[in-house]
Amino acid sequence: MMKPDRLPVPQWRWLALVASAACAALAVLAATGAVAQTGGAPTRPLMKKYVGTPSSHEMLKEPQVRAQLEGMLGKQLPALMRNLDVRGDVDLIGGALAINGNANHKGGEEEAIVCISDFGPVPLVEAAIFSKGRVTIFAKAPQYEYLMLCVKDWVTQVNSGHRDRMTQPKNVQVVAKP
């Protein structure tokens, strides 16, 4: 009788290995937001409906979005809407839907943004208003560092007078290949 070259791995070790791999896969999916709390299917209903469309007015009227805006902004909501009067299509910035704009003929002076993260069963809404040289942010996050990238990038642009988008920084080299 010949002995095998390898000793067979005990069955419990195989089960432990399979269980560890399954747990690791679930952890990765949960950490990346790929699995929502809706039976395992990814959900991004607002993103699917609005990203890249000019339907920002309709998105701001979505019940879960409107309720959060009203709750966070209160009497400031009309100022936000005024500062979003001139706006483009719904963008996707840092994984969040973004609606930004300015008051009519007030670009660089009166501006606003609404950012909506629709991972999970209830979208998370953050908003900011730039008025009279001051940025006011409305969010559930207790500190600036925890805000959505969408809001923080907008703050950077507003504070630079939007020059950061148009002027090449001294430490940036552009390599163009014809």
The predicted-structure confidence for 90-129, as pLDDT tens digits, reads as follows 999 998 999 999 999 998 899 999 999 988 788 999 999 9
Per-residue pLDDT, 119: 83
Give the pLDDT band (50/70/90) at residue 158: very high
Q: pTM to 2 decimals?
A: 0.72
Buried residues in 137-173 as b, exposed as e (16+ CB within 10 A) = bbbeeeeeeebbebbbbbbebbeeeeeeeeeeeeeee
Instruction: Annotate the chain with three-state secondary structure.
Output: CCCCCCCCCCHHHHHHHHHHHHHHHHHHHHHHCCCCCCCCCCCCHHHHHHCCCCCHHHHHCCHHHHHHHHHHHHHHHHHHHHCCCEECCCEEECCEEEEEEECCCCCCCEEEEEEEECCCCCCEEEEEEEECCEEEEECCCCCHHHCCHHHHHHHHHHHCCCHHHHCCCCCCCCCCCC
Per-residue pLDDT, 1: 56
Lowest-confidence segment of 35-39, 42-46, 131-135 by average pLDDT: 35-39
Instruction: Give the chain's mean pLDDT.
Output: 82
What contacts 122, CB < 8 A, 6 or more positions away? 64
Per-residue pLDDT, 162: 85
Per-residue pLDDT, 49: 87
